[in-house]
Every structure is written in C-alpha cells, then in structure tokens.
Structure 1
Amino acid sequence: MFKVLILILTTNLFFMLHVTGNISKYINMKYSFLSASMIVILFILTVVEGIKLWSSGDEKEKHHDCECSHDHHEQEHHHEHGHEKKKPSAGKKIKKFLAYTLVLIPAISGVVLPVATLDSQLVDAKGFSFPTLEDGTNREGMHQVLNPDMSKFMNQTDFEDLVRKESKSYIPKNNITLTDEDYLVGLEVMYNFSGAFAGKTLTMKGFTYNGPGVQPNQLFLLRFGLIHCVADSGAFGMMIQFPKNVHIPNDQWYQVTGTMDTVYYPQMKTKIPVLKVTSYKTIPKPNDPYVYRNSLN
C-alpha cells in the first residue's frame, strides 16, 4: 500500500512541477524531456504496483475462503503453524517507517510548499568570491559567481574553441543587448575577452546586489543561471558603476545601459568587467527570473 502511495505522490510532484512551470527553477529546460519521461515511467510503475496490490488482496480473500472450508482439526493445525512465523521486530518496523517517511516528505512538501526564488540572500549564504580567477585551484565543486564558466564542464581545448566561436557573435558589435536567451553566453565571452569590449555599449537587466568591497557608486547586477540544474546554478552578472554615489537595496530589478570597461576589484584580486551606467530604469521581476545555458555552439 505504501509503495503505491509513494509512487502516486511522486508522480503527482513531477506532474505539478511541469503544469505550474516550476520545473524551470530546478533544471535547465532543455532537459525537460527527461523529467517528462519520468512522469510516464512513474505512472506506469504506479499502475503496475496498483495491480499487484489488488491481486494480492484478491488472493488473500480466496485463501481466507479456502481456510473456512477446512474441518476443525485442520484449522487448529494451521493456527499452530501460523504462530511459528516470526513477526517483524520493532527495529525493522521503525526503519521501514522512517524510510517511507523520508520519501513521502519531499513528495508532499514539493507540491504543498511554495517554490522559493533564489535571490541575494543565497549569494550571501554561499559567499561572494571568484576562486577561479584568484588562484585557479580547487575548481571542482565551487559555486559560480559573475562569470558562467563552462570550462568546469569540458576540457580546456574544447572550452577555448567554444568561447572563441561564440565571441564572433559579440566582438564585432558596438551595441550589445543581453537577452534571457543569450545572457550566459554573452557574459562568458565578455569575461574571457574583456579588453575587446572596452568602450562598447551594453544593455542588460538583473537584480541588484551590494557586494563586499564595492565603492559607494558601485554594485552588481545579477541573474541566477542554470547550466544543467540547480546544483550548478550561480549568480551571474557584472559590476555596474554610476556617475555618482547611489543607495539601491538588494533584489531590486533594473535594466541598465552603459559603456563597458574593466576595473580592479580587490575582493577578487583581479580585474573584472564593469559597466559604466549612462541610463537605467526599474523593471518588474520577470515571470521567470532565471536564465539558462541554451546551447554549446
């Protein structure tokens, strides 16, 4: 019975994530066919387990009817042997209960509880650092900040070929607008060829984050992006610099336009791209605040 219940709830969890669109907050949507396939597989398993449960109930009823037809001596003999069967120990019952509970909790909470959107609080919780530029060590398992670094997912030669190929769509332009579709691609090119973009005009949008060590006229404009899934998500974006001091709280959504340059950022001990703002405006939070790595070409 518990197996069927778990399968029903898990199938419903994946189904509701797709229906509400919240699946995009967990995985890159180019992999959505995998989770959709999971719904079909879970549904089939649920039907199979349901049939097994129904069949076992039918067999028990037949077995009970068969026992009633035996004479009194046979019933007593069966009763005596029945007592010889060992009952499951209390420890095993507790383990079984805990195992089912651990599976049921996420299956229920994933539907009942609202899906939280990642914001500046997570950036603070994980730490705002750029280890790949500081020393190049311990790259594996590091959460990403600012630069969506695809070199973590492929060998160095393939990565260099990829970025060089992608740069051809951006370097020739004097006016660049980063859209939701090419946000991560464009940023990675700009971080790898920052000198080639000096003086070019860039328009981008994101939420504000007052990072550590910034000047009174500086802050960061970020978007949470998913390379493959939420496990490799990062806060990607760029430092923006205003002509005069500003005070803008975290998590305010802005669209800014400015001129690109580079600046030394002591917190990360390296030069990073900076957008010197010429115009800006507040915008509503997008329906889907995340951006995704949609291609590798």
Structure 2
Amino acid sequence: MYRVVILLLFTNLFFMLHSTGNIAKYINLKYSFLSYSMIYVLLFLTIAEGIRWYFSDKRKEQENECLDCEHGHVHVNEHHHHHDEKTLSKGKKIKKFLAYTLVLIPAVSGVVLPVATLNSKLVDAKGFSFPALEDSSDKYGMHQVLNPDMSQFMGKDAFLDLVSKESKSYVGKNEFTLRDEDYLVGLEVLYNYMGKFAGKTLTMKGFTYNGPNLKSNQIFLLRFGIIHCVADSGAFGMMLEFPKDIHIPNDQWYEVTGKVDMVYYPPMKAKIPVIKVTSYKTIAKPNDPYVYRNSLN
C-alpha cells in the first residue's frame, strides 16, 4: 500500500511541475520531454503496483483463513517463537515506515512548498568570482558569473570554434538586443570579442546586483542562465555605467540601452565589457526570469 501511495505522489509531483510550468525553474526546457515521459512511466508503475498489492492482499486473506481451519497442539516453545516473530515484525514495520517517510518528503514538499526564484542572494551566497578570467584550475567546482563559459561542457577548442561561428550573427551589427532566446549566446560572443563591440549599441534586460568594488554610478544587470539544470546555473550579464550616481537596490528589473565599452574591474583582475547607459526603464519581472542555452552545436 505504501508503494502505491509513494508512486501516486511522485506521479502527481511531475504532473504539477508541468501543468504549472514550474519545471522550467529546475531544468532546461529542451530536456522537458524526459520529465514529461516520467508522468506516464510513474502512472503505469502505480497501476501495476496497485494490482500487485490487491492480489497479494487477497492471497494473505486466503492463507489466514486456512490457518484458522487447522488445529494442533500448542507448545510453550511455540509461544516464545511467536513472540519473537512479533518483535521482529514490529521492528521491520518501524524501519519500513521511516524509509517510506523519507521518500515521501520530496514528493510532498515539491507540491506544497512554493518554488523560489534564484536572485541576487544566491550570487552573494556563492561568491562573485569569475573563474574564466582568473585562469583558475578548478573551474568545474565554481559558480559562474557574467560570462557563460560553455567550454566546461564541451572542451576549450570546440567552444572557441562554436563562438567563432556564432559571432558572425553579431559582429557586423551596429545595434543589437540580447533577447531571452539568444541571451547566453550573445554574451558568449561579446565577452570573447569585446574589442569588436566597442561603441556599438546594446539593449538588454535583467535584475540589478550591487557587486563588490563598484563606483557610485555602476551596477550589474544579470539573468540566471540554465545550461542543463538548476545545478549548473550561473548569474550572467554585464556591468552598467550611468552618466551620474545611482542608488538602485538589488533584484530590480530593468531594460537598458547604451554603448558598449570596456573597463578594468579590480576584483576580477581583468577587463570586462560595460554598457554606458543612454536610456533605461523599469520593467515587470518576466513570467520566466531564467534564460537557457538552447544549443551547443
């Protein structure tokens, strides 16, 4: 019976994630067919386990009826034997209850608890470091910010070839916009070919983040990007530089337009691109605040 309940709850969990659209906050949507298929797999297993449990319960009832019909002598050692069996059975039931309870926690909490959206607090928690520019030898265990470095997933040489091909869609333009569907691709090109974008007009949107060692007219504009799943997510974006001092708190959503330039950022010990803002406006938080890497080929 416990197995039927567990399978039913997990079926409901996957169904709710897809019906509400919250699945996009855990995985890249290009993999959603895998989790979607789990609804049918789990439903099939639930039905199969329900049938097995029903016939197993019927069989036990028949066996108990047969035992009640039998008569025999009762011995003292049999009494002790039955007592030991009851003690062992009770212990097994407690262990089984605890095991099933632990399994039930994610199935229930995944539906009951609200889904939290990643924001600037996670950037603070993981640290605002830039392993791609710092030439760190341990890139795989570090949280990415600003520049989406896909070389971690496909090798450095293959990644550089990819960016070279992608750059052809951007380098020749004097004005371009980082849209949701090509946000990560555009940033990859921009960070790897910064010099070719100097003086060009860029429009982008994201949430604000007051990073370390910024001037009074500077702030970062970021989007959380998901490569495969939320475990490999990073806060990607650019520095903004306004004509005058600003005071904007974290996690405010803006759309900005400005000229691309380069600036040396001491905490990262490297030059990074910056948007010298010419116009900006506040916007509502998007229904899907994340951006995704749709392709690596």
TM-score by length of 2: 0.94
Report if the CA contact (8 A) 2:129-2:143 is conserved.
Answer: no
Q: Could you say what secondary structure the match of 1:246 adopts?
A: coil
User: 1:94: how far off?
Assistant: 4.7
User: 1:92: how far off?
Assistant: 5.1
Report if the CA contact (8 A) 2:264-2:272 is conserved.
Answer: yes
Query: Where do 1:113-124 residues align within 5 Å?
Result: 113-124=113-124
User: Which structure carries more helix by proportion?
Assistant: 2
Report if the CA contact (8 A) 2:4-2:46 is conserved.
Answer: yes
* 2:30 aligned partner: 30
* 1:73 aligned partner: 72
Q: Could you say what secondary structure the match of 1:118 adopts?
A: coil
For residues 193 and 91 of structure 1, the distance between their equivalents in structure 2, rounded to whole angstroms, comes to 66
User: 1:86: how far off?
Assistant: 6.6
- What whole-Å deviation, never above 9, does each CA across 1:42-92 have from its counterpart, x for those lacking one? 11111111111111111011112222333x327x58x94972747437765
Query: Where do 1:126-145 residues align within 5 Å?
Result: 126-145=126-145
For residues 12 and 4 of structure 2, the distance between their equivalents in structure 1, rounded to whole angstroms, comes to 12
* 1:218 aligned partner: 218
Q: Could you say what secondary structure the match of 1:189 adopts?
A: helix
TM-aligned CA distance change 1:119 to 1:16, over 3 Å: same
TM-aligned CA distance change 1:261 to 1:11, over 3 Å: same
Query: Where do 1:194-205 residues align within 5 Å?
Result: 194-205=194-205
Q: Could you say what secondary structure the match of 1:153 adopts?
A: helix
For residues 8 and 135 of structure 2, the distance between their equivalents in structure 1, rounded to whole angstroms, comes to 49
Unmatched segments (≥5 aa) in structure 2: none
Q: Could you say what secondary structure the match of 2:180 adopts?
A: coil
Query: Where do 1:195-274 residues align within 5 Å?
Result: 195-274=195-274
- What whole-Å deviation, never above 9, does each CA across 1:204-240 have from its counterpart, x for those lacking one? 0000000011100000000011000000001110001
For residues 91 and 126 of structure 1, the distance between their equivalents in structure 2, rounded to whole angstroms, comes to 43
TM-aligned CA distance change 1:53 to 1:227, over 3 Å: same
For residues 129 and 172 of structure 2, the distance between their equivalents in structure 1, rounded to whole angstroms, comes to 31
Residue 163 of structure 1 aligns to which amino acid in structure 2? V
* 2:18 aligned partner: 18
User: 1:137: how far off?
Assistant: 1.4
Moved more, 253-262 or 82-91: 82-91
Report if the CA contact (8 A) 2:255-2:282 is conserved.
Answer: yes
Q: Could you say what secondary structure the match of 1:169 adopts?
A: coil
User: 1:143: how far off?
Assistant: 1.2
Indicate whether 1:276 and 2:259 are aligned: no
For residues 85 and 68 of structure 2, the distance between their equivalents in structure 1, rounded to whole angstroms, comes to 20
CA RMSD, Structure 1 to Structure 2 (Å): 1.9
Residue 216 of structure 1 aligns to which amino acid in structure 2? S
Q: Could you say what secondary structure the match of 1:288 adopts?
A: coil
Q: Could you say what secondary structure the match of 2:267 adopts?
A: coil
* 1:61 aligned partner: 61
Q: Could you say what secondary structure the match of 2:268 adopts?
A: coil
Unmatched segments (≥5 aa) in structure 1: none
For residues 95 and 49 of structure 1, the distance between their equivalents in structure 2, rounded to whole angstroms, comes to 21
TM-aligned CA distance change 1:95 to 1:272, over 3 Å: farther
Residue 153 of structure 2 aligns to which amino acid in structure 1? F
User: 1:122: how far off?
Assistant: 0.8
TM-score by length of 1: 0.94
